[in-house]
Amino acid sequence: MLDKKRVEKSPVELSKKDFVSDQMVKWCPGCGAHAILAAIHKVFPEIGYKKENFCFVSGIGCSSRFPYYVDTYGFHGIHGRAAAIASGVKMANTELSLWVATGDGDSMAIGGNHFIHLIRRNIDINVLLFNNQVYGLTKGQYSPTTPRGGITKTSPHGTIEHPFNTAGLVMGAQGTFFARCLDNNINMMRDVMYEAAKHDGTSVVEILQSCVIYSEDAFENITSKEARDETQLRLEHGKPMIFGKNRDKGIVLSGNKLRVVNIGENGVKEEDLLVHDQYKKDPGIHRMLGRMQPPKYPIALGVIRAAPFNTYDRLLNEQIENAKQSSSIQCVDDLLNSGDTWEIK
């Protein structure tokens, strides 16, 4: 159970069924969103807060139906604005465990502005970003993360846009927490979501999710049976960065660049590998890890960055407490009578 935060704990032990809502889940069969929902149902009881203190906020898109399927407080907003709505919810009640469900289009196209500013402010909100590299709900147009050349209904000749790297965007916006996971690994999602809840500040969890209708093989290169061991690097804090079917590959820092090495070749030993420090404040290595992509590199999964910085909501509360103690204006009558006033008799 998380006890670091001020969120009120549940007096009784909760289970998955406490968080399943009575609404029919309307995602396509086989959609990765079902697994994400299962991971949330699993991790919320473990986080241990009172049910009423969880709140989901979303925008528009397949991902954004999420709040209806979790039996907590929920708010289904408008396209792109979940981050802004959630910021208001959190400021109004800093003791909520607040979760945003959003997609690649919702957060990085129409909602790009709110997304980067939420991250910059480091408001204590957990963002689950379902990245399927396509607009699903409007039936298959390219999104800001569709790889260049991707053929979609609005890019019949291939997109000519350079896609966002989510990690790069989040860390460029001064992000303090970024994690990446796959929709086909519920345990990894659960672990990462727990870490996100634990982090003070804006936590962005990018979930690479395939859309069974419009982008089924989007992540084939990293999820297929043949490829996955060689293309996935599961990061764990304090552990060396090792991957490969035979656990024989690793990452080293060479000059100011990351490099893939084979353990045992050219005298490279396990001790030479980079050890993951997710709490490092300097984002340099986190940025490089976030940007790694096959074929040159494996893709980094797990918590890439969880740097401790002060949060907006905590600083806001501090300013309010200080003002209440030091100001001569304690109520609106004081305010109305402050400054130049005079009596007419």
Partner 1 sequence: MVKKSNVVELEDVVVKFVGDSGDGMQLAGTLFSEMAAFSGNDLATFPDFPAEIRAPHNTVAGVSGFQIHVGKRKIYTPGDMCDVLVAMNPASLRANVKWAKDGATILLDESTFDEKAIHKAGYQENPLKDESLRDYNVVKAPITELTKKSLQDLNVDKKLAPRTKNMFALGMITYLFNRELERAISLVERKFGSKPEVFEANKAVISAGYKYAESLESIKATYKVDPAPMEKGRYRNITGNVATAWGLLAASERSGRPFFLGSYPITPATEILMELSHHKSLEAKVFQAEDEIAGICSAIGASFAGSFAATTTSGPGLSLKSEAIGLAVMTELPLVIVNVQRGGPSTGLPTKSEQSDLLQALYGRNGECPVIVMAASSPANCFYYAYQASKLSMEHMTPVILLTDGYLGLGSELLKIPKVKELPEINPPLAKPNDPDYKPYKRDENSLVRKWAAPGTDGLRHRIGGLEKTNIDGNVSTDPLNHQLMVKLREEKVKRVENYIPEQTLVGEESGDLLVIGWGGTEGALISTVKRMQEENYKISLAHFNYIKPLPKNTKNILSNFKKIIVCELNMGQFVNYLKISFPEFHYYQYNKVQGLPFHVNELTEVFKNILEENKHA
User: Of the candidates 2, 14, 38, 78, which one interacts with partner 1 according to CB under 8 A?
Assistant: 78
Matching residue, tokens 């697994």 = 35
Residue 231: count other Cβ atoms within 10 Å of its Cβ.
Answer: 21
Distance CA(143)–CA(211), nearest Å, equals: 13
Residues in CB range of 261: below 8 A, 6 or more apart: 249, 250, 251, 252, 268, 272, 273
Which residue of 9, 34, 48, 95 would you call a contact of partner 1, by CB under 8 A?
95
CB of 14 vs partner 1, minimal distance in Å = 13
Residue 271, both tokens = 């001790």
Mark residues 8-47: x for contact with partner 1 by CB under 8 A, - for none: -------------x-x------------------------
Element (H or E) spanning 313, and its range?
Answer: helix 312-326
- What torsion, rounded to 10 degrees, do the Cα atoms 167, 169, 172, 178 define? -30
Q: How far is CA 212 from CA 34, 69, 136, 250, in A?
A: 12, 20, 9, 32
- Give the nearest distance from C-beta 24 to partner 1 in angstroms: 10
Which of 6, 153, 237, 324 contacts partner 1 by CB under 8 A? Answer: 324
Kindly tell me which of 252 and 316 has the beta carbon lying closer to partner 1: 316
Out of 74, 103, 105, 290, which residue is the one contacting partner 1 (CB under 8 A)? 74
Distance CA 235, CA 276 (A): 7
Q: Which of 57, 129, 233, 258 is the binder for partner 1 (CB under 8 A)?
A: 57
Subset of 110-129 contacting partner 1 (CB under 8 A): 113-114, 117
* Contacting range for partner 1; rule: CB under 8 A; set: 83-91, 229-237, 243-251, 292-300: 83-91
CB 82 to partner 1: min, Å: 9
CB of 195 to partner 1, least distance (A): 23
Asked if 299 touches partner 1 (CB under 8 A), the answer is: no
Binding-site size, partner 1 (CB under 8 A)? 61
CB of 60 to partner 1, least distance (A): 8
| Closer residue to partner 1 (CB): 76 or 259 | 76
For residues 183 and 15, what is the distance between their CA atoms, to the nearest angstrom? 22
CA angle 116–121–123, rounded 5-degree value = 105
d(CA 269, CA 134) in angstroms, rounded, equals 41
CB of 217 to partner 1, least distance (A): 31
Residues between 225 and 264 that touch partner 1 (CB under 8 A): none
